[in-house]
Structure 1
Amino acid sequence: MGERFAVRIEGRDLELSNLDKLMYPAAGFTKGEVVDYYTRVAPVLLPHLRGRALTRIRYPNGVAGVHFFEKNAPGGTPPWVRLATLPVPGSTMARETIDFVVVDELATLVWVANLASLELHTPQWRIGADPDLLVVDLDPGAPAGLKECCGVAVLMRDRLAEDGLTAHPKTSGKKGMQLCVPIAGTQDAEIVAEYARQVAEELSARVPGSITAKMARAVRPGKVFIDWSQNSAAKTTVAPYSLRAMERPTASTPLTWDEVGEMALGSVPVRQFGATEVLARVELHGDLLADLLEPGPPVPVRH
Structure 2
Amino acid sequence: MTPLTEVDGRRLALSNLHKVLHPVTGTTKGEVLHYYATVGAAILPHLRDRPVSFLRYPDGPDGQLFFTKNPPPGTPSWVTTTPVPRSEDPGARQVVIQDLASLMWASNLVVEFHTPQWRTSSPAVADRLVLDLDPGPPATVVECCRVALHLRERLAADGLEAFAKTSGSKGLHLLVPVVPTPSAQVSAYARQLAVEAEAALPKLVVHRMAKALRPGKVFVDHSQNAAAKTTATPYTLRARARPAVSAPVTWEEVEDGAHHAATPEALVLLMDDITPRLERYGDLLAPLFEPERAGRLP
Same fold (TM over 0.5): yes
Partner residue of 1:286?
282
Partner residue of 1:202?
196
- Secondary structure of 2:131's aligned partner: strand
- 1:147·1:266 contact (CA, 8 Å) conserved in 2? no
Q: 2:117 aligns with which of 110, 118, 124?
A: 124
Q: Which amino acid aligns with 2:67?
A: F
Partner residue of 1:20?
18
- 1:138·1:227 contact (CA, 8 Å) conserved in 2? yes
- Secondary structure of 1:215's aligned partner: coil
- 1:144·1:224 contact (CA, 8 Å) conserved in 2? yes
- 2:166·2:248 contact (CA, 8 Å) conserved in 1? yes
Q: Deviations over 1:151-210 (max 9, x none)?
A: 00000000000000000000001000100000001x211100111111111111011111
Partner residue of 2:159?
164
Q: Which amino acid aligns with 1:59?
A: Y
Partner residue of 1:145?
140
- 2:234·2:246 contact (CA, 8 Å) conserved in 1? yes
CA distance, structure 2, for counterparts of residue 223 and residue 25 of structure 1:
30
Query: 1:88-237 alignment to 2 at 5 Å?
Result: 88-90=86-88, 95-117=89-111, 119-129=112-122, 130-185=125-180, 187-237=181-231
- Secondary structure of 2:78's aligned partner: coil
Partner residue of 2:269?
273
Cα RMSD (Å) of the superposition?
A: 1.1
- 1:48·1:293 contact (CA, 8 Å) conserved in 2? no
> Which stretch shows the higher mean deviation, 58-67 or 248-257?
58-67
Structure 1 residue 116 displacement after superposition: 1.4
Structure 2 unaligned residues grouped into runs of 5+: none
CA distance, structure 2, for counterparts of residue 243 and residue 97 of structure 1:
30
- 2:178·2:296 contact (CA, 8 Å) conserved in 1? yes
CA distance, structure 2, for counterparts of residue 224 and residue 46 of structure 1:
30
- Secondary structure of 1:184's aligned partner: strand
Q: 1:81 aligns with which of 57, 79, 82?
A: 79
CA distance, structure 1, for counterparts of residue 40 and residue 30 of structure 2:
15
CA distance, structure 2, for counterparts of residue 298 and residue 97 of structure 1:
33
Q: Which amino acid aligns with 2:171?
A: G
CA distance, structure 2, for counterparts of residue 10 and residue 282 of structure 1:
23
Q: Which amino acid aligns with 1:250?
A: A
Structure 1 unaligned residues grouped into runs of 5+: none
Structure 1 residue 267 displacement after superposition: 4.0
Q: Deviations over 1:223-282 (max 9, x none)?
A: 111111110001100001100111100000100000000010024643211000122111
- Secondary structure of 1:201's aligned partner: helix
> Which stretch shows the higher mean deviation, 270-279 or 148-157?
270-279
How many residues are treated as equivalent by the alignment? 292
Q: Which amino acid aligns with 2:8?
A: E
Q: 2:70 aligns with which of 53, 69, 72?
A: 72
Structure 1 residue 27 displacement after superposition: 1.5
TM-score normalized with structure 2 length: 0.95
- 2:142·2:261 contact (CA, 8 Å) conserved in 1? no
CA distance, structure 2, for counterparts of residue 198 and residue 262 of structure 1:
27
Q: Percent identity?
A: 48
CA distance, structure 1, for counterparts of residue 210 and residue 264 of structure 2:
26
TM-score normalized with structure 1 length: 0.94
